[in-house]
Amino acid sequence: MGLFDKIKNVFKTKEKEEIEVYDKGLEKTRKEFVSELNILGIKYKKVTDEYFDELESLLIKADIGVKTAFDFLDRLKKRVKKENITDTENLKEVIVDELFLIYVTGENLSDKINMNPTGPTVLLFVGVNGVGKTTTIGKLAYKYKNEGKKVMLIAGDTFRAGAVEQLKIWADKTDSLFFGKENIDPAGVIYEGLENAMKENVDIVLVDTAGRLQNKVNLMNELEKINKVIGKFIPNAPQETLLIIDATTGQNGILQAESFKSITNITGIVLTKLDGTAKGGIVLAIKESVGIPVKFIGLGEGMEDLKSFDIEEYIYGLFKDMI
C-alpha cells in the first residue's frame, strides 16, 4: 500500500474523534492551501516550470518556509523526472508523499514524551511571553490527570506580575498539586517544589519558566541553573524541555525556536493556536529548520484540544479534501 492509500485509510485505523479534531483544527490551512493547489491543477494540466513557480509561492504562503520549499521542490522535480510524471493531477499524490517525507526522514526524532520509569517525569516549559505557555501547562495537567497521573505544577516564572497566581488557577482547575513563590530566585522555588513532589510521590511535574528572550545570556544562565537543580533531584531530568510557539506568529516562531535552541537543550515543540492560522505548514518548517520534533499541537480553545502530534493525522487533516 502506498502512502497516499495509507493516509486515505487513516479514518479506519485511528480514533474518529481524534481525526475530527485535526480535521477541524487544520480547516483554515486546508481551505487555503488545498483549494489553491486544486486551482493550480486546473490552470496547469501539464507539469511545467510555471506550475513549479506557482507551487513554490503557494508553499511559502502556507508558511512551509523558503528553504523547506526549495528543498521540497528539488526533490519533487527529481521524482517527476524519474517517474516521468507529466499530469498535474497525478502529481498531487507525490506532493502529499513528499510533504510527509519532510517530517519522517532524516534524524530519528520522536513525537512521544520521554517518561521517567523510576520516578517523577519532569517537563520543563520555555517560550516567550504571550505564546500560551501557562494555558498549555494547564491543558497538559488536565490530560495527565485524566490518564490517572498525580500531577504537580511548579511556578518558575517568579518575577512576572500575576504569573504565579495564573498557574495556581490552572492547578486548582485541574485538581493538581501546586508550588510557587513570588519575587525570589526561580531555581530556589523549583528546588523546594521538587522536594514536595518527591514527598507526595508525584508522577508528572510541569515546570513553568520566565518568558523573556531579550537578554539571552541571563536566560541561558537561569535555565542552566534550573537544569542543574532538577538533575540533582532526579537523574536525567528534565525528561523533556518543551518550547511553546504560537503558530499564528509564522516565521517568527522559527526564529524563536532557533534562539532557544542556541541557549538550552530543547527536546520538543508545542505549537499552540494551529487552528487559528491558515499557515499550518509551520509544522514542517520547524522540523526542517531546527530538527526538533513537534510533541503537541493546539487545535482549539477546549481543555481537550491540545493533542499529541501525529504526522499521519496532520497530513490527513491538511489534505482530506484532496484524497
**Beta partners for 223?**
none
Beta strand residue intervals within 169-299, DSSP E: 177-180, 204-208, 240-246, 268-272, 294-298
Q: What share of the chain is helix, strand, coil (3-state, %, to 5)?
A: 55, 15, 30
Q: Check if the beta carbon of residue 183 is closer than 8 Å to that of residue 98.
A: no
Dist. CA 69–CA 64, nearest whole Å: 6
Q: What does the pLDDT look like over 210-220, one tens digit per residue? A: 987 767 888 88
The fraction of the chain above a pLDDT of 90, given in percent, is: 57
- The least confident of 21-30, 48-57, 225-234, 253-262 is 21-30
Q: Which is nearest to 112 in space by CA: 295, 313, 317, 307? A: 295
Give the domains, in start order, of the chain with CATH numbers: 3-104 (1.20.120.140), 121-309 (3.40.50.300)
**1 pLDDT above the threshold of 50:** no
Residue 217: per-residue pLDDT: 85
Q: Do residues 199 and 239 make contact, with C-beta atoms less than 8 angstroms apart?
A: no
Task: Please name which of 311, 305, 240 lies closest in space to residue 274, comparing C-alpha atoms.
Answer: 305
Strand, coil or helix: what is 121?
Answer: strand
For strand 204-208 and strand 240-246, is the pairing parallel, antiparallel, or unpaired?
A: unpaired
Sign of CA dihedral 69, 240, 257, 163: positive
pTM: 0.90
DSSP β-bridge partners for residue 244? 270
Other C-beta atoms closer than 10 Å to the C-beta of 46 total 11
C-alpha dist (Å) from residue 299 to 112, 136, 161: 18, 12, 28
Pair type for strands 306-308 and 294-298 = antiparallel
- Do 114 and 239 touch, CB atoms closer than 8 A? yes
Tell me the C-alpha distance between 33 and 50, whole Å: 18
Q: What pLDDT is attached to residue 203? A: 97
Please compute, for residue 78, the number of CA atoms within 13 A of its CA located in the half-sphere on the CB side: 7
Burial class of residue 81 (count of CB atoms within 10 Å of its CB; 0-12, 13-18, 19+)? exposed
Nearest to 178 by CA among 158, 151, 201: 151
Nearest to 18 by CA among 319, 297, 322: 297
Using 50, 70 and 90 to split pLDDT, how confident is the model at 8?
Answer: low
SS3 at position 178: strand
The per-residue pLDDT of the chain, averaged, comes to 89
Consecutive H or E run containing 215: none
245: left (phi over 0), alpha (psi -120 to 50) or beta: beta
CA distances from 23 to 10, 26, 31, 156, 305 (A): 12, 6, 11, 35, 12
The set of cell numbers assigned to 263 is 541557549
C-alpha to C-alpha distances, 189 to 68, 183, 225, nearest whole angstrom: 41, 10, 12
Tens digit of each residue's pLDDT (9 = 90 or more) over 150-204: 999 999 999 888 999 999 999 999 999 999 999 999 999 999 999 999 999 999 9
Q: What is the pLDDT of residue 5?
A: 62
Please determine, for residue 245, whether its predicted confidence score (pLDDT) is greater than 50.
yes
